[in-house]
Structure 1
Amino acid sequence: MEVTKGLITLSSLIVLVQLANNLFNPILQITQLLADHYSSEPIIEKINYLKSKSSNTASGIQLPKTDLLKNLVINLNKNICFSNGLRISLDKNYNFTLADKILVVGPSGSGKTTLLKSLCGKYGIYSKDICVTNKQENSNLSSLCMYVTSDNAIFPGTILENITLNNDVNIYKLKEIINTLGLKAMVKYSCKCKSINLLSSGEKQRIVIARALLLSNKYFLFDEITSAVDRGYTEKIRKLFFSLDGGFIEVAHKIGNNEKKKYDKVIVLRGKE
């Protein structure tokens, strides 16, 4: 080696290694960022396409006024058979409107997610045991609903980009949401202090909720959306849900009896048949 031959000192070798790292590490990081960028482009393009196809405004399809929401009635039979062959059992027949705040509870695997997806009408799951009636106008329920789950995508980029998806948004509404959800510091320092890939499950869920509330005025179907969020933020998130002009449906496991009383109705699933 050159060091052993006396042609270069050990300290000089260490300096050269550090300089090489300073040169090549940024190149490797840029390569990774470019790969992330190009891999996310098709997803972003599809989102923009779906938004342009299904949205009448930049913030999504506007829900009808509250008095019209009360006239759109959803009827659920006690025993529901879905198109995918799954059967679920409720404790009784239910009916509710899009103006109601609804909680869905039941044991794991009882079909809560399947029920929400069928109501959303966008996952190829349907049932004749779920009937939608409207006294005043013909409304497509699937066009009014937005299914929100903790599995919703988190993209390479900053936290703010993940929330806004680079849309022009109401800055006051944005500030209110990120402050309530405890995302202000994360939004401000996301490029410096934490990679999007290092976010915890609870942080990702809060970002998904912020995105949904900011970009859509639809009827929300929340599926275990606070399962990884601590109790303090869960209470703040539910306050946001109850402040919505229209109703919503929330599937939740960890919820006390006092919290259940705040909902207009609690739908109880007994399990699969």
Structure 2
Amino acid sequence: MPEVVVENVHKSFGALEVLKGVSLSVGRGEVFALIGRSGSGKSTLLRCMNGLEKINSGRIEIAGHALGGDAKALRKLRTDVGIVFQSYNLFPHLTVGENIMLAPRIVKDVAKPKAREVAREVLQLVGLSEKFDSYPDQLSGGQQQRVAIARSLAMRPKVMLFDEVTSALDPELTEEVLMVMEQLARDGMTMILVTHEMGFARRVATQTIFMHKGKIWERGPSATLFADPQTPELRQFVKSDVK
């Protein structure tokens, strides 16, 4: 049974059709990378998967939840599907630990001692155990992004979505974050990531999808897709990335 099913999804913003019949299936423990130029529909597809954008037609089922239900169903979906963005969105007036504890306490009604235990556990996973009592402005960008990942992990999601999480970071901080994501992949987390990090996609993603003009243009095992592009569009995209 796939963990993520997307069937013939269309999404428009006014007269602009951004997704033009997208379909994909992600098995449990797989890592899918979505690549392509800006405006190809990658981030919109990811946001549709978490119900942040409403699709016009088609079907999305993720972690056993069908999108399109009421607000209560959507909240339940988001307890099983974590999403991390380019911007960290940490609350500046809360410590790192408090930022991570917030959602489990409010959404899942987890008791404070248990929430604190979980927060320390996920901080250890992202290599920031010592930052529990720090405030976001005391952290580097890479550390803040790792806290954002830890905050999602504290909800015990079945699927993690990553939307260009390293695009605002310099190369050294980018590597910090990618190492955390690579460890999650090794631990068997189902992940879908929009990324410009082609080396990471080649190395870590089980499948890579190249999107172009709102459609899936090519897809396949990452090593094969990068080594032997089948369309001029992907060949040009890979070539431009190498430069």
Q: TM-score range by the shorter chain?
A: 0.5 to 0.7
Q: 2:101 aligns with which of 141, 164, 170?
A: 164
Q: Distance in 2 between matches of 1:98 and 1:186?
A: 32
Unpaired stretches in structure 2, ≥5 consecutive residues = 68-73, 106-111, 216-243
SS of the residue 1:82 aligns to: strand
Structure 1 match to 2:57? 128
Contact 1:114–1:125 (CA<8 Å) still a contact in 2? Answer: no
Give the direction of change, closer, same or farther, for the CA distance of 1:105–1:217 in structure 2 (3 Å limit). same
User: How many Å separate the matches in 1 of 2:138 and 2:176?
Assistant: 20
Counterpart Cα distance in 2 of 1:140 and 1:110:
25
Counterpart for residue 95 of structure 1 = 25
- Which 4+ stretches in 1 moved above 6 angstroms? none
Counterpart amino acid of 1:82?
K
| Aligned match for 1:262, one of 196, 200, 204 | 204
Instruction: State whether residues 160 and 191 of structure 2, in contact with CA within 8 Å, keep that contact through their aligned partners in structure 1.
Output: yes
Q: Secondary structure at the match of 1:169?
A: helix
Question: Scaled by the length of structure 2, what TM-score is found?
Answer: 0.62
Corresponding residue of 1:81: 10
Q: Could you state the TM-score of these two structures normalised by the residue count of structure 1?
A: 0.57
CA RMSD of aligned residues (A): 3.4
In structure 1, C-alpha distance between the alignment counterparts of 2:205 and 2:153, rounded to whole Å = 19
- How far apart are 1:75 and its partner, in Å? 3.6
Contact 1:150 1:208 in 2 (8 A): no
Shift of 1:206: 1.3
Does the 8 Å CA contact 1:180/1:236 hold for their aligned counterparts?
A: no
Partners of 2:31 and 2:206 within 8 A in 1: yes
The C-alpha deviation readout for 1:199-226, integer Å capped at 9, x for no partner, is 4432221111111112232322111223
Asked if the contact 1:178–1:210 (Cα under 8 Å) also holds between the matched residues in 2, the reply is yes
The CA distance in 2 between the partners of 1:240 and 1:130, in whole Å, is 31
Give 1:184's aligned residue. 129
Size of the aligned set, in residue pairs, is: 191
Structure 1: give runs of 5+ residues left out of the alignment: 1-69
CA distance in 2, matches of 1:146, 1:73: 13
